[in-house]
C-alpha cells in the first residue's frame, strides 16, 4: 500500500502544524524557513509530502525555546478535526472508535513517516492500549514532544468519535519526568502518567472504544479507506530538487502554462540552469513533460468519463489522434482498452465486504 517513495516524508498538514507551533513559541524563522518543503506552494499543497527531516528540525528548534511538554500540548490543541483530512475521518466516522483506530493504524503513512512511526493496538480483555512507536533520529527533547503529542492526538480523535471526552486508564511515556507536568495531565485528563516507561502508550477501557459511534453511516468506512488509498497514490513526496521541479511542472500544467520558461520562473532560475539541473538528475524537459502527461491521461481514463478529445485538450495534445499515438507508444494499446482495464481493476478492488489495505 505504501510506496517506498513515501518513506522519509510526512504530510504537509503535519509540517504546517509544526511551523504554526514554532511561531507560537517565537522560534526565529531564519532557523528553518530555508528547509525543503517550506516554500508556500509546497507547504500549502496537501498533495505534497514534506521531508521528515524538515519537521524534525523544526521540533528540535522549538524545544530549545520551550519545554517539550508545552510543545506536545500546543500541537494537540491545534489539531482540530479535519487537520489531517481523511485520516481523521477514518477514526471519527467508523462504526466504533476502535474500528476507526484500526483503520488509522493501517493508514498512518497519510500523516507520518511510515519508516519510523507506527501506531500499535493491543487488546487485553477489559483494556485497549494504543502505543506510538517513533524511531526517528531526533534530539531527546524533540522525541519526547512528538511522543507526548501523538498520545494527545489519539485521545482527541477517539473522544471526537465517541462525542464525549474519553479518560484513559493509564498513560506511559518513554521520557524522563519533567519538573512540572500539569499541562500533560490536563491534556490527557488524568494524572496517572508513568514516566521513564519502556514505551509510549495510552490505555482505555475496551467497553468505551467498542461503543457504537454516534451518527456512524453504514458503508462510509469503506469509502474513506478507498479515499485513503487515493490520497497516498496521488501524493508527491519531496525528497530533493527533482521533486520540487515536478511539483512546479504539475502546477504549471494545471494552469496551462507548462513551458520551460514558465517553470523556470516559478523556480526562480534561468531556463539554462533548469535544463542543466535536469541533466544532472539524469532526465530532460521532454521526458518530464511526457511522464506528467502519461500519468494525467491514465488517471483521466481510469477515473472519469471524459471523451478522448477532451482528455487530449486537457493534457496538452493537439488532438485525439496524437493522444492515441502516445498511449500506443506507452502501453501498446488504445485509450479505450486502457480505460476498460482500469475500470475492471476498480471493480475488483471494490468488491462488497473487501477490506482495502488489509
Please name each of the domains of the chain with its CATH number: 4-220 (3.90.1520), 221-349 (1.10.10.60)
Do residues 289 and 275 lie in contact, with contact meaning Cβ atoms separated by under 8 Å?
no
Sign of the CA dihedral 218, 224, 225, 230? Answer: positive
**Is the predicted pLDDT of residue 354 greater than 90, yes or no?**
no
**Is the predicted pLDDT of residue 347 greater than 50, yes or no?**
no
Query: What Rg, from alpha-carbon coordinates, does the chain have?
Result: 23
Give me 335's grid cell.
485509450
Query: Would you place residue 269 in the very low, low, confident or very high pLDDT band (cuts 50, 70, 90)?
Result: confident
Q: Can you tell me the distance from the alpha carbon of 269 to that of 294, in angstroms, rounded to the nearest whole number?
A: 26
- The predicted model gives 218-244 an average pLDDT of 91
- The predicted model gives 36-53 an average pLDDT of 90
**Is the predicted pLDDT of residue 46 greater than 70, yes or no?**
yes
How many C-beta atoms surround the C-beta of residue 314 within 10 A? 18
Q: Can you tell me the distance from the alpha carbon of 128 to that of 254, in angstroms, rounded to the nearest whole number?
A: 46
Which position has the grid cell 478529445? 309
Q: Where are the alpha helices (DSSP H) in the chain?
A: 12-24, 40-43, 52-65, 68-78, 86-92, 97-106, 140-162, 182-188, 206-209, 220-234, 241-254, 260-266, 271-280, 285-303, 308-315, 320-331, 335-349
Query: Would you place residue 3 in the very low, low, confident or very high pLDDT band (cuts 50, 70, 90)?
Result: low
Q: Which of 11-25, 70-84, 241-255, 312-326 shows the lowest mean pLDDT across its residues? A: 241-255
**Is the predicted pLDDT of residue 352 greater than 50, yes or no?**
no
How many C-beta atoms surround the C-beta of residue 12 within 10 A? 22
- The confidence score (pLDDT) of residue 343 equals 62
Query: Would you place residue 242 in the very low, low, confident or very high pLDDT band (cuts 50, 70, 90)?
Result: confident
Contacts 24+ apart (CB under 8 A), 288-297: 288/245, 288/246, 288/249, 289/249, 289/258, 289/316, 290/326, 292/246, 292/249, 292/250, 292/253, 292/258, 293/317, 293/326, 294/326, 294/330, 296/253, 297/323, 297/326, 297/327, 297/335
Q: Can you tell me the distance from the alpha carbon of 294 to that of 316, in angstroms, rounded to the nearest whole number?
A: 11
Per cent of the chain over pLDDT 70 is 95
Do residues 17 and 50 lie in contact, with contact meaning Cβ atoms separated by under 8 Å?
no
Helix (H, G, I), strand (E, B) or coil at 236: strand
- The predicted model gives 289-316 an average pLDDT of 89
Q: Can you tell me the distance from the alpha carbon of 290 to that of 107, in angstroms, rounded to the nearest whole number?
A: 31
Distance between the two ends of the chain, CA-based, in angstroms?
Answer: 9
Amino acid at each position: 500500500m505504501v510506496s517506498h517513495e513515501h518513506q522519509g516524508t510526512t504530510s504537509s498538514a503535519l509540517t504546517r502544524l509544526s511551523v504554526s507551533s514554532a511561531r507560537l513559541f517565537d522560534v526565529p524563522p531564519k532557523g528553518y524557513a530555508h528547509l525543503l518543503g517550506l516554500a508556500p506552494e509546497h507547504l500549502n499543497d496537501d498533495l505534497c509530502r514534506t521531508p521528515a527531516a524538515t519537521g524534525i528540525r523544526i521540533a528540535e528548534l522549538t524545544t530549545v525555546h520551550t519545554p517539550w511538554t508545552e510543545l506536545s500540548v500546543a500541537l494537540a490543541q491545534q489539531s482540530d478535526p479535519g487537520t489531517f483530512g481523511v485520516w481523521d475521518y477514518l477514526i471519527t466516522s467508523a462504526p466504533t472508535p476502535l474500528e476507526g483506530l484500526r483503520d488509522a493504524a493501517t493508514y498512518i503513512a497519510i500523516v507520518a513517516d511510515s519508516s519510523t512511526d507506527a501506531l500499535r493496538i493491543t487488546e487485553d480483555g477489559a483494556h485497549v492500549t494504543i502505543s506510538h512507536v517513533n524511531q526517528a533520529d531526533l534530539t531527546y527533547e524533540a522525541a519526547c514532544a512528538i511522543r507526548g503529542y501523538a498520545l494527545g492526538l489519539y485521545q482527541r480523535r477517539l473522544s471526537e468519535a465517541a462525542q464525549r471526552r474519553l479518560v484513559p486508564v493509564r498513560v506511559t511515556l518513554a521520557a524522563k519526568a519533567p519538573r512540572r507536568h500539569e499541562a500533560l495531565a490536563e491534556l490527557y485528563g488524568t494524572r496517572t502518567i508513568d514516566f521513564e516507561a519502556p514505551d509510549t502508550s495510552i490505555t482505555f477501557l475496551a467497553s468505551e472504544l467498542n461503543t457504537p459511534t454516534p451518527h456512524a453511516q453504514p458503508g462510509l468506512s469503506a469509502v474513506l479507506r478507498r479515499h485513503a488509498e487515493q490520497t497516498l497514490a496521488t501524493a508527491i513526496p519531496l525528497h530533493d530538487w527533482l521533486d520540487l521541479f515536478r511539483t512546479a511542472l504539475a502546477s504549471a500544467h494545471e494552469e496551462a502554462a507548462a513551458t520551460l520558461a514558465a517553470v523556470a520562473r516559478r523556480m526562480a532560475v534561468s531556463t539554462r540552469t533548469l535544463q542543466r539541473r535536469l541533466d544532472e538528475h539524469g532526465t530532460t524537459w521532454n521526458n518530464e513533460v511526457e511522464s506528467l502527461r502519461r500519468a494525467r491521461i491514465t488517471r483521466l481514463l481510469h477515473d472519469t468519463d471524459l471523451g478522448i478529445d477532451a482528455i487530449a485538450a486537457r493534457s496538452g495534445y493537439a488532438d485525439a489522434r496524437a493522444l492515441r499515438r502516445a498511449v500506443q507508444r506507452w502501453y501498446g494499446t488504445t485509450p479505450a482498452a486502457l480505460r476498460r482495464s482500469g475500470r475492471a481493476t476498480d471493480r475488483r478492488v471494490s468488491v462488497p465486504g473487501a477490506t482495502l489495505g488489509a
